[in-house]
Amino acid sequence: MIIIFALFLLSLLVITALAIVRTKNLFVAVMLTSIFSLLMAANFFILDAADVALTEAAVGAGITTVIFLSALALTVEREKKVRSGRRLAMVVVAILATIMIYATFDKPRLGDPEAPVHQHLAPWYLENTPVLMDFPNVVTAVLGSFRGYDTLGEVFVVFAASIGVLFILGVKPPEGSSYDPEASGLRHHLIPQVVGRLLIPFIVLFGLYVQFHGEYGPGGGFQAGALIASGVILYALLEGEAAALRAVPQSVLMGLVIGGACLYGAVGIVCVLLGGNFLEYSVLASDPAKGQQLGILLIEAGVGMAVCGALLTIFHAFAARPMRS
């Protein structure tokens, strides 16, 4: 049954991808990428990767779409005529796809317990996580502790993206721009406003749940940060950009980004000062398992702050640009 469902989702995925390539209307393309992300999230869920599915749904289908739309508001909706290269690109992509499909002929069967990925590291993680950290979610253990350095790196990827957007878009809008921050928003549309307002507290609450429940169920800082940010973005869409900035000012957002990244790094430094290696949380408490839990709790908080702040910074940087008249 699940195979049929997976096949159905995958063919939808291919159709959506082709439609994105074909369409000349960028608004349609953005909507289709959003659908693509949602389908992808469903696929991840079928593969039992609930953590990834959650992130994909929140970031891919939600926030990226809003940011794409804000970017589209600054440019035009129709794609420019491409002079050359599209056919060549298609040929290159076709060749690459063939090679990759060829490579998968020798791949282990999906879910094969004898596959190398299930034989080498995974059993060790599964066996040792409950002993070393005393909680059940191995994904959180891998992301937060065993490969915590990668996660620190990813936080800085998000940070790099946000300073990039600020640096490039952060220049002052040109004189005589037609932008009125008070006029935006959906204040005059009753139904979206009522429904949206009802949703916001639940989104934020769910975000907090995902943040603090990561050790036991799917979740963690990335997902939580994205969910909370999407709650605030929804508020900005309903009440206008200016109202959202009054609720959570720009300085607070930068504080979240800088504070979150530094909190993560500081946990690592403290581990070194207490005699361990960088990010070796075991030394944080007298009981190594408690130390691991404390470390993961703190770094997840850092991730959540940084991601939430960065996504909102990027959103505001786009939204605050003057609209095209």
Partner 1 sequence: MDLTPHLPALQVIVPMLFSPLVLLLKPRGLAWAGATAVALLSFAIALNMAIAVADGAHFKYDMGGWEAPYGIELSVGAFSALLLLIVTGAAAAALLASRPSVDRQIELERQPLFYSAWLLALAGLVGIVVSADAFNIFVFMEISSLASYVLIAGGPDRRALPAVFKYLIMGTIGATFYLIGVGLVYMMTGTLNLADMAARIGGVTDINPLLVAAGFITIGLALKAAVFPLHVWVPNAYAHAPHMVTVFLAACATKVAIYVLIRFDFWVFQANLEQHALQFSLFLMPLALLGILVASAVAVFEGHIKRLLAMSSVAQIGYIVLGASFVTESGLTAASSHMFNHALAKGGLFLAIAGLGYHYRDLSLAQLAGAARNMPWTAAAMVICGFSLIGIPGTAGFISKWLLINAALDEGRLAWVLVAIILVSSLMALAYVWRIIETLYFKTPVDEEAVHGEAPLQLLLVTWLVAIANIFFGLFPQFPLALSSAAAQLLLRQTL
Nearer to partner 1, 204 or 317 (CB): 317
Binding segment toward partner 1, per CB under 8 A, in 68-76, 165-173, 203-211, 244-252: 165-173
What is the number of alpha carbons within 13 Å of residue 80 lying toward its C-beta?
5
Nearest approach in angstroms of CB 4 to partner 1 is 24
Nearest distance in Å: CB 170, partner 1: 7
Report the Cα 127 to chain-centroid distance in Å: 29
Q: Among 39-47, 68-76, 122-130, 220-228, which window interacts with partner 1 (CB under 8 A)?
A: 122-130
Q: Which of 102, 111, 113, 191 binds partner 1 (CB under 8 A)?
A: 102
Contact status: 232 vs partner 1 (CB under 8 A): no
What CA–CA distance (Å, rounded) separates 227 from 212? 13
Q: Which is nearer to partner 1, 150 or 180 (CB)?
A: 150
The overall longest dimension of the chain from CA atoms, in Å, is 66
Instruction: Tell the smallest beta-carbon distance from residue 190 to partner 1 (Å).
Output: 41
Using CB under 8 A as the binding rule, whether residue 69 contacts partner 1 is answered as no
User: How big is the chain, counted in residues?
Assistant: 325
Quote the least distance from Cβ 262 to partner 1, whole Å.
Answer: 6
Which of 38, 41, 166, 236 binds partner 1 (CB under 8 A)? It is 166
Regarding 80 and contact with partner 1 (CB under 8 A), the answer is no
Kindly write down the DSSP assignment for every residue of 129-158, as one continuous string: HHHHH--S-HHHHIIIIITHHHHHHHHHHH
Three-state SS at 78: strand
The span of 37-45, 194-202, 210-218, 268-276 binding partner 1 (CB under 8 A) equals: 268-276
Are 37 and 64 in contact by the 8 Å Cβ rule? The answer is yes
Q: What's the Rg (C-alpha) of the chain?
A: 22
Instruction: Name the minimum Å distance from CB 179 to partner 1.
Output: 20
Which of 80, 81, 107, 109 touches partner 1 (CB under 8 A)? 107
> Which conformational region is residue 10 in: left (phi greater than 0), alpha (psi within -120 to 50 degrees), or beta?
alpha
According to DSSP, the residues that pair with 78 across neighbouring strands are 25
Contact status: 125 vs partner 1 (CB under 8 A): yes
Using the contact rule CB under 8 A, the part of the chain among 64-72, 75-83, 189-197, 263-271 near partner 1 is: 263-271
Q: What sign does the dihedral 191-65-36-257 (CA atoms) show?
A: negative
H helices of the chain, in order, are 2-22, 26-46, 50-55, 64-74, 86-104, 116-119, 121-133, 138-141, 148-169, 190-212, 221-239, 241-247, 250-273, 288-319
Site for partner 1 contains 150 (CB under 8 A)? yes
* Among 5, 8, 27, 167, contact with partner 1 (rule: CB under 8 A): 167
User: Shortest distance, CB of residue 210 to partner 1, whole angstroms?
Assistant: 23
Q: How many CA atoms lie within 13 A of 15 on its CB side?
A: 8
From CA 223, how far away is CA 62, in angstroms rounded?
12
Rule CB under 8 A: is residue 68 a binding residue for partner 1?
A: no
Tell me which residues touch partner 1 (CB under 8 A): 99-100, 102-108, 115-122, 124-125, 145-150, 153-154, 156-157, 159-161, 163-164, 166-168, 170-171, 254, 257-258, 261-262, 265, 268-269, 272-273, 275-282
